[in-house]
A = this chain, B = another copy of it.
Amino acid sequence: MKLKKILHGGDYNPEQWLDYPEILEKDITYFQLAKINTVTIGMFSWSTLEPTEGVFQFEWLEEIINRLYAAGISTILASPSGARPKWMADRYPEVLRVREDRTRLLFGGRHNHCYTSPIYREKIEIINRVLGERFGHHPAVILWHISNEYGGDCHCPLCQEAFQAWLKNRYGCIEHVNRSWNTTFWSHTYQSFEQIESPSSIGETLVHGLTLDWKRFVTDQTVDFCAWEIKALKASGSAIPTTTNLMYDFVGLNYDKMASIIDIVSWDTYPVWHKREDIKVAWDNGMQHDYMRCLKHKPFLLMESCPSSTNWQAVSRLKRPGLLKAQSWQAVAHGSESVLYFQMRQSRGSSEKFHGAVVDHYGGCDTRVFREIAQLGGELENLPGILGSETRAKVALIYDIENRWAVEGAQGPRNEGLYYHRAAVKSYQALRKQGINVDVISMVQDLSKYKLVVAPMLYMFRAGIEEKIRTFVKGGGHFVLGYWSGIVDENDSCFLGGTPYKLMDVFGLRRTETDGLYAHESNSIHGVADLGDASVYKTDTLCDLLDLNTAEALYCYGEEFYQGTAAVTKNRFGSGVAYYIGSDAMQAFYDDFYGELLHAADVEPLVTGEIPKGIAINSREGADGMYLFLQNYNNEVVDISALELTGTLMQGENKNRLDAYETLIIKK
């Protein structure tokens, strides 16, 4: 997908305004004022496109696409499967989802449909095919937007059958299932695949292998449905590329698999700004950007973001002046080729009527939000050189969705919370604070191109990760493994013989026990004085007890009966070094520890000089040079004169200071 401009625009629902021709007209005027070059149309338009079964009304859509195109605005065209029409639910109840408690839902909401239902598949196949025929070669249409935020699961009889078939395909024989899930426990042995039911709060919730496989099946069934949609859209020979919009930290699907069948990754970001320090929100959101980018290790699209405040968060804080731009540039800094909003025009009624928009109910262009968007539109137009440029990172963080499913589904050692996501963000931000790019990858990916790889709480070992780690360290890599790692296989079945499984020699230790701490409790870790480190950090949640073999202790516990035993260790193995962090230390520990480590691993920062607090730094490298991004997430001016910044200032006015929420872009 070759773009000429950074895409600027967003979700647009003209079908809500067909009775207001003057508004549709004004929209185009406004879009041009704000340098909007792209809109996404057609999500949730099914009942307008096919008001009764088999009767299609595409004229309004074609007219709007044409009029926008004439005004220089391209269209991302969506398939309408995000919500089905009422007539379909009424005539074919099988298209409605069945909840895990085996209740068939009524019509309502969105995304309430069965991905297995042959009728639903038939209906989406027909309308997508017709859409493909009509618009699949239209010059205005630059991208197929498949459905909307796929998610959720269905437990209907059709899905039960599909799940049983999926299991049969995975395991071959029922004995294999029984062994993998350890069904002998509590007499749950199955005699046939037909006996297996999906997890349910009124049935089985505690067979962890079943729960895991159900999640895998849901991903596969959803991906299969998406592929089905794509096939229908392309049946006419349309060469338009495809995407589907992914979601922030979504646990419902394995996005590795979803990404594999689309042409370009896109996602929707809705950070909760101003609830806590903005820089913390920025790190968190930045990690997601990197996660999305690494799904294909290519630039991606920011498909949705909110121009002002959402209406579905607990509290709708207004964005401070400048923050909208900061959020938008952050996406570009991390690899996005677009800044797109939900939504272009605020709807009058129903669930999202108070969700922020480029044009609000008032309807004027003389609003604070519109002005900031228009300004940003101009800036984006000035930087086409960024398009197609790459992010290069020598450091990776492993953040793996299947591991998350397992770690959060297993019972023990701390049912009150293990905080896998928090642990990942701690490491991510500690690395980012050093002024480096970071890749965020799953266990299936390649480690060989990195100098340093960090894996917090890698509870499950899958995809041969233990071999990859061994090879990586042996070959000279620096690897950091967190507490509660290497415990179970891909079926959540415990490894026998000691953990971290098959890596006890690489890390030079064995984990013997793990202590769970209450929320009101903490321990501490103390630098080993002999090594000249007298620092002390608070730690909480979990404390691994370690039996060292060849490893040396860097930090020891300060309290409890295991006081003085190793908490953080280091082990040379082959040409590399393997570190083990046995407890969930406070942020400052990670900040300090990774600072040292990057040095040891010979990873260079993007800028030299001490980086002030609240400043985020990224780079993208393209054919015409390297773009360096500096962003200020403090609500005040920050002096950055201590940083050595060479190159041409492409965005911003002064290399010595950053205004509140300002972004500098320097080209080298």
Residues of A that sit less than 8 Å from B by CB: 13, 15-16, 19, 44-48, 51-52, 80, 82-87, 90, 99, 101-103, 105-110, 179-191, 195, 197, 200, 202-209, 275, 308-318, 320-321, 346-355, 361-363, 367-369, 410-416, 491-499, 510, 512-518, 545, 560-561
Contacts and interface: CB of A to CB of B under 8 A. Distances in A.
Given A308-B513, A413-B311, A513-B308, A109 B205 contact: yes
A411 B368 contact: no
16 contacts: A15-B184, A47-B183, A80-B187, A86-B189, A86-B191, A106-B197, A109-B203, A109-B204, A185-B347, A208-B353, A309-B412, A314-B415, A315-B516, A318-B516, A320-B561, A354-B413
B187 A411 contact: no
Given A47-B187, A106-B202, 16 more contacts: A82-B186, A82-B187, A99-B202, A106-B203, A106-B204, A107-B204, A108-B202, A109-B203, A109-B206, A185-B349, A309-B516, A315-B413, A318-B514, A348-B493, A353-B411, A367-B513
Contacts of A492: 349
Contacts of A560: 320
A274 to B, nearest CB: 8
Contacts of A48: 184, 187, 189
B208 A351 contact: yes
Nearest to A498: B362
B349 A491 contact: yes
B315 A351 contact: no
Contacts of A179: 19
A351 B411 contact: yes
Nearest to A96: B203
Q: Does more than half of chain A's interface fall in helix, strand or loop, or is it mixed?
A: loop
Contacts of A106: 102, 197, 200, 202-204
A209 to B, nearest CB: 6
A412 B354 contact: yes
A208 B318 contact: no
A410 B315 contact: no
A87 B48 CA distance: 49
Count of identical protomers in the assembly = 3
A190 B86 contact: yes
Contacts of A90: 195
Contacts of A353: 182, 208, 410-412, 493-494
Contacts of A494: 346, 348-349, 353-354, 361
Contact of A517 (B207, B317, B347, B352): B317
Nearest to A311: B412
A108 B183 CA distance: 11
B45 A187 contact: yes
Nearest to A99: B202
A574 to B, nearest CB: 25
A186 B350 contact: yes
A496 B354 CA distance: 13
Given A84-B187, A90-B195, A515-B317, A311 B411 contact: yes
A496 B275 contact: no
Contacts of A313: 415
Contacts of A355: 412
A48, A191, A355, A514 interface centre (most CB from chain B within 10 Å): A191
A354 B492 CA distance: 11
B206 A350 contact: yes
A105 B495 contact: no
Contacts of A184: 13, 15-16, 47-48
A90 to B, nearest CB: 6
A82 to B, nearest CB: 8
B46 A187 contact: yes
Contacts of A190: 86
- Which among A203, A208, A318, A517 has the greatest number of chain B C-beta atoms within 10 A? A318
A90 B316 CA distance: 50
